[in-house]
């Protein structure tokens, strides 16, 4: 099974292996490139453009991750405190029974509060963050490599 490649710029649509972005993003790039050429007379670099998109998405993703993490933590605390409220209703219960009741109560509260969905969202956001981090590192390597190329004098032999 081959993994489908996602567009680096939008992260949503598929791209072909020989391109870094999807067709839609390429159209957007093309339009911005045209505007830029009119304004500054210089062409935009696709690498730079994609890098900026990746950086924006990365920031966005980090915010989402933080928000989701906060909701997750709040829910965990809520579940914990609600489960303890009136948990025995003043009656004496055996520890084992108490534990089991608590476990079930917590699970119910967790599900009602959307805990499973939050957990799934967190995992996905973490995965995407890791992917983008990798992509950003790749860009850094690329720009390092290209600046090295530029600084090397092609007429000089390395001997
Ligand atoms: Zn795209």
88-111 residue pLDDT tens: 666 777 889 889 989 999 999 999
95 Cα–ligand 1 center, Å:
56
Model pTM?
A: 0.71
What pLDDT is recorded for position 33? 96
Degrees to nearest 5, angle at CA 80 with 95 and 75? 155
What pLDDT is recorded for position 6? 86
Return the top range by mean pLDDT from 90-104, 109-123, 129-143.
Answer: 109-123
What pLDDT is recorded for position 158? 47
46 Cα–ligand 1 center, Å:
13
Per domain, the residue ranges of the chain are 46-86+95-142
15 Cα–ligand 1 center, Å:
8
**What is the average per-residue pLDDT within 32-56?**
93
Q: Residues within 5 Å of ion ligand 1 by Cβ?
A: 7, 9-10, 13, 22, 25
Contact assessment for residue 29 and residue 44, using Cβ atoms and an 8 Å cutoff: yes
14 Cα–ligand 1 center, Å:
7
Between CA 9 and CA 11 the distance in angstroms is: 6
Specify the range with the lowest mean pLDDT, choosing from 7-21, 38-52, 58-72, 133-147. 133-147
pLDDT > 90: percent of the chain: 57
Contact assessment for residue 20 and residue 50, using Cβ atoms and an 8 Å cutoff: yes
47 Cα–ligand 1 center, Å:
14
145 Cα–ligand 1 center, Å:
25
53 Cα–ligand 1 center, Å:
10
């Amino acid at each position: 099974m081959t993994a489908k490649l996602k567009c680096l710029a939008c992260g949503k649509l598929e791209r072909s292996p020989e391109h870094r972005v999807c067709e839609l993003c390429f159209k957007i790039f093309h339009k911005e490139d045209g505007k830029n050429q009119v304004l500054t007379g210089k062409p935009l670099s696709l690498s730079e453009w994609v890098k900026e998109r990746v950086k924006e998405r990365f920031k966005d993703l980090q915010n989402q991750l933080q928000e989701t993490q906060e909701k997750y933590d709040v829910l965990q605390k809520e579940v914990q405190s609600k489960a303890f409220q009136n948990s025995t209703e003043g009656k004496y219960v055996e520890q084992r029974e108490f534990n089991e009741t608590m476990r079930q109560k917590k699970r119910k509260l967790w599900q009602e509060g959307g805990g499973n969905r939050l957990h799934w969202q967190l995992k996905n956001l973490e995965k995407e963050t890791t992917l983008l981090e990798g992509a950003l590192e790749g860009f850094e390597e690329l720009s390092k490599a290209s600046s090295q190329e530029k600084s090397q004098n092609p007429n000089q032999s390395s001997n």
